Amino acid sequence: MFEKLQRLGKSFMIPIAVLPIAGIMLGVGAAFTNSLMIETYGLQWLLGEGTILNYILSTMGTIGNVIFGSLPLIFAVGIASGLAMQEKGAAGLSAAIGFVVMHSVIGKVLGFLGHTPATTTADYFLSQGMTVLEAAKQSNVYGYELGMFSVKIGVLGGIIIGIVVAVLTNKYYDKKLPEALSFFSGVRFVPIISVLAASIIGAIIPFIWPYIHLGISTFAEFFGKTGPVGIFFYGFFMRLLNIFGLHHAIYPLFWFTSLGGEMEVAGKLVQGGQNIFFAQLADPNTLRFSPEGTKYFMGGYLPMMFGLPAAALAMYHTADSKKKKMVGGLLFSAALTSFLTGITEPIEFTFLFVAPVLYGIHALLEGLAYAILYALKVAVGVTFSRGIIDFTLFGLIQGNAKTNFIWILILGIPTALIYYYVFKTLILKFNLKTPGRGEEEEVKLYSKKDAMMKDMDIEEVIEALGGRENLAEVDACITRLRVTVKDASKVADDATWKSKLKAKGVFRKGNGVQVVYGALAEILKNEINKVK
């Protein structure tokens, strides 16, 4: 399950990778075509309707908006191609077809059940004797996808189709059919079986989704009532899950599905925290962004922009004097990366590797940042990370009246001081071997790869495979190191692999050896190919 979640999280990164450019386009386009902003600063001559810049900026906003509006389809294609072991292109195409088929079947079944656009409005349910709240919840179950009347399953529908199509691709990409149907064998069979599967899913969803939707809404309401306490645990556990890369499998559910809340924006029901923020961003009538939409990500601004750079400074000040010059350049680069872009891995995995207690404190402080900013009703959005670039676009440019961003700046200095003194004190008190401390000559920042390779000797792995001269081909899939050897008898026994080399399992067939290492498999492949 752990390995499957890692793979799923990795596949989520494919569709999520498009969000930064979409967010920048929408952020810049919406900000500089806002009539109130233009009138306030007297920029009608430059940015008003009919000007060239207005055409360009409004087009940018439209591009960003359509990408966010198409996220369910983007997730379906991205996850299918990301999880497919073979024929990724066919998987992506099949997922797109399957997504459309699923929603068309849902619409057809809803019609058979008597649910139409006219019979799924709040007014209609009120006429049937429901209370205002019951009618609103019931009507929120139904909506449109790609112009088709369907249920509001949103990104979750894309995730389901993406996973199902990937499984079918991995199973049937080399399927052989009888001679008379041989044209449809292999990769051509994938879209066929995908359409059938999507049709079945589409036929089932109308019967179960209303109950699931209401259940998710109830849970989201309950989680919302936990207030800052619940958000603290959310931020804390997301940072801990980052160690294993599992956060990528969790936070999209809060960002893009009803698990992250629902809100009506510009007359449309929007699901998911980030979707809510960008829907409000695109709506010129928005006077104040909702903290309920941004609470699942904005807490990261304090540790990423202020906390971790201060931790880097603490590591620099505690480094051995003769190594400070070398350490300074490395830590400054990592701190600047965190501040500008919110990419924190170079710093985080450095102290995770040598001092896990520092990472635990970092996770606690990040959880507190989430809780405090939410309690202060700060509402600054993000695209993917939380550096000064996103802060400028979705905080400063939008204005304090809409975002309450000033609290991030006010709390930034205390956050930096806390990180600095906590890290410095613990490093000195427990003599933690952060960069530039200790007898080792090498001074470096550690990466996720270093953390995963801890206590692993690549030469021992090669020796267990029979030595360099025994290696014919070395490859890897998501979880397995796949090796073709010249003499299978030279490969170490299973007990050696599991006890000494930390393998989770070994599979052998002829001269082929597959060693299960989870996410480490790809790293081992690369390291072996470097030295073999």
Q: At residue 442, does pLDDT exceed 60?
A: no
Best mean pLDDT range from 35-39, 278-282, 306-310, 344-348: 306-310
Reported as a pLDDT band with limits 50, 70 and 90, residue 525 is confident
Q: What is the mean pLDDT of residues 438-466?
A: 71
* Per-residue confidence (pLDDT) for residue 225, from 0 to 100: 86
Residue 448, pLDDT above cutoff 90: no
Other beta carbons within 10 angstroms of residue 414's beta carbon come to 11
Residue 529: predicted pLDDT: 85
- In this predicted structure, the answer to whether residue 440 has a pLDDT above a threshold of 60 is no
Taking CA atoms, 501 is separated from 164, 340, 459, in Å, by 34, 39, 11
- Residue 39 confidence (pLDDT) above 90: no
Q: What is the pLDDT of residue 441?
A: 47
Highest-confidence segment of 14-28, 42-56, 433-447, 480-494: 42-56
What pLDDT does residue 454 have?
65
Q: How confident is the model at residue 523 (pLDDT cuts 50, 70, 90)?
A: confident
Q: Does pLDDT of 4 surpass 90?
A: no
| pLDDT cut 70: percent of the chain above it | 92
Angle between the N-to-C axes of helices 273-282 and 19-31, in degrees from 0 to 180, rounded to the nearest 10: 30
pLDDT digits (tens, 9 = 90+) for 87-110: 999 999 999 999 999 999 999 999
For tokens 């009618």, the residue is: 135
Q: Supply the mean pLDDT for the chain.
A: 88
CB atoms closer than 10 angstroms to residue 409 = 15
What is the C-alpha to C-alpha distance for residues 83 and 92, in angstroms, rounded to an integer?
10
Give yes or no for residue 318 having a pLDDT over 90: yes
Q: Are 473 and 484 in contact (CB under 8 A)?
A: yes
**Does residue 369 carry a pLDDT above 90?**
yes
Nearest-angstrom CA–CA distance, 114 and 165: 30
- Structure tokens given for 518: 């989870």
pLDDT for residue 480: 75
**Where, residue-wise, is CATH 3.30.1360.60 in the chain?**
454-531
Least confident of 39-48, 116-125, 312-321, 464-473: 39-48
| Active site positions, annotated | 477
Read off the pLDDT of residues 290-307 as tens digits, 9 standing for 90 and up: 999 999 999 999 999 999
In this predicted structure, the answer to whether residue 3 has a pLDDT above a threshold of 70 is no
- Domain 454-531, CATH 3.30.1360.60 — does that match? yes
Using pLDDT thresholds of 50, 70 and 90, give the confidence band for residue 500.
confident
pLDDT tens digits, 222-281: 888 899 999 999 999 999 887 766 677 688 889 988 889 889 998 888 989 999 999 999
Distance of CA 457 to the CA centre of its chain: 31
pLDDT in tens, 407-429: 999 999 999 999 999 999 999 99
Residue 212 has pLDDT above 60, yes or no: yes
- What dihedral angle (degrees, nearest 10) is formed by the CA atoms of 266, 268, 274, 278? -30
The pLDDT, as a whole number, for residue 522 is: 77
CA-CA distances (angstroms) from residue 192 to 164, 171, 297?
Answer: 13, 13, 39
Q: Averaged over 332-353, what is the pLDDT?
A: 83
